[in-house]
Amino acid sequence: MKKILTSALVLVFIFSGCGTTAKFIYPDDNSKLMRFPEGPAYSQKVVVTPFEELRNSKNQSGTYFLYLIPLMPFGWGEYERPDAARMFNTVNEFTFTPSEDLAKAAAYSLRRSNLFEDAFFSFGGDKDKADWILEGEILSTRYRGSIWSYGLSIYGPMLWFIGLPAGRSHNDLSLALRVKDVQTKDLLWEKTYNVTNVVTQGLYYSFGHDVKGYSRLMQDVMNDAIGDMNREFQKKGLGKG
């Protein structure tokens, strides 16, 4: 019984974030990025600058340990800024600089799409080398995680051994994107995105994937944005090469 109890406690701490460090890596799947194989559809060059930080700052992790209370089925944590958190379901921390990482991801997708003559990230010093600029506002990168003990307190992890889910992670991404003419400042395109990725985790599946969804969400956002830009620019007859 002592060994079982010890094993349960070890699992409890593992699923309280005593794992590895996760990192934002883009793209999630290069083969699934939007691409126009026939060559640039527009002769313009697009610069992407760091996105504006508009997120809230509230992070809450103490509620994770509520799952240790008998009859309490789960504990949870909620972070408006997961990059500043130190406890997730199965990872310890998340290396992520949203204002820079998401902007670089956008530039990568634009360049890879072959929609424009060129696309690149800049902190702003060489904006004059571009015709258009993609700007972004980060509205939310909220993380919601829950660890399930099924009301059994420290004995709940015993159920994880037989394959029952140990928890669930929600990744939310909310962005406002817009394209402007560098010289005239005219607004050429804009759209706001609110997307979510949910993953159920266990000892044998999705372990360590607490924040992996952010890359997938950004990829989906940019795929949609690129297609929508193309349709809007076609309607307006903008910059055809």
pLDDT digits (tens, 9 = 90+) for 166-205: 999 999 999 999 999 999 999 999 999 999 999 999 999 9
Strand partners, 93: 21
Dihedral sign, Cα of residue 12, residue 15, residue 16, residue 20 = positive
Q: What is the mean pLDDT of the chain?
A: 91
Asked if residue 110 has pLDDT above 80, the reply is yes
Lowest mean pLDDT among 135-149, 188-202, 227-241: 227-241
Asked if residue 179 lies in contact with residue 134, where contact means CB atoms within 8 angstroms, the answer is yes
Is residue 241 included in any domain, yes or no? no
Phi, psi dihedral angles at 230 (to 5 degrees)? -60, -45
What is the distance between the alpha carbons of residues 228 and 181, in angstroms, rounded to a whole number?
17
Q: Kindly indicate the confidence band of residue 41, based on its pLDDT and cuts at 50, 70 and 90.
A: confident
Is residue 215 included in any domain, yes or no? yes
What is the distance between the alpha carbons of residues 174 and 161, in angstroms, rounded to a whole number?
36
Bridge pairing between strands 143-148 and 59-60: unpaired
Is residue 108 included in any domain, yes or no? yes
Q: Which residues contact 4 (CB under 8 A, 6 or more apart)?
A: 158
Is residue 101 included in any domain, yes or no? yes
Asked if residue 7 has pLDDT above 50, the reply is no
Tracing tokens 């700052």 back to the chain, one arrives at 57
Q: Which residues contact 58 (CB under 8 A, 6 or more apart)?
A: 78, 80
Asked if residue 73 has pLDDT above 50, the reply is yes
Asked if residue 2 has pLDDT above 90, the reply is no
Strand partners, 205: 202
- Whether this model's pTM surpasses 0.85: yes
Mean pLDDT throughout 76-103?
A: 96
Domain containing 188 — which CATH number? 3.40.50.10610
Strand partners, 199: 169
| Number of domain units in the chain | 1
How buried is residue 47: exposed, middle or buried, by Cβ count under 10 Å (0-12/13-18/19+)? buried
Which tokens hold the place of 185?
A: 């400042």
Asked if residue 169 lies in contact with residue 201, where contact means CB atoms within 8 angstroms, the answer is yes
Q: Which domain holds residue 155?
A: 2-236
Is residue 218 included in any domain, yes or no? yes
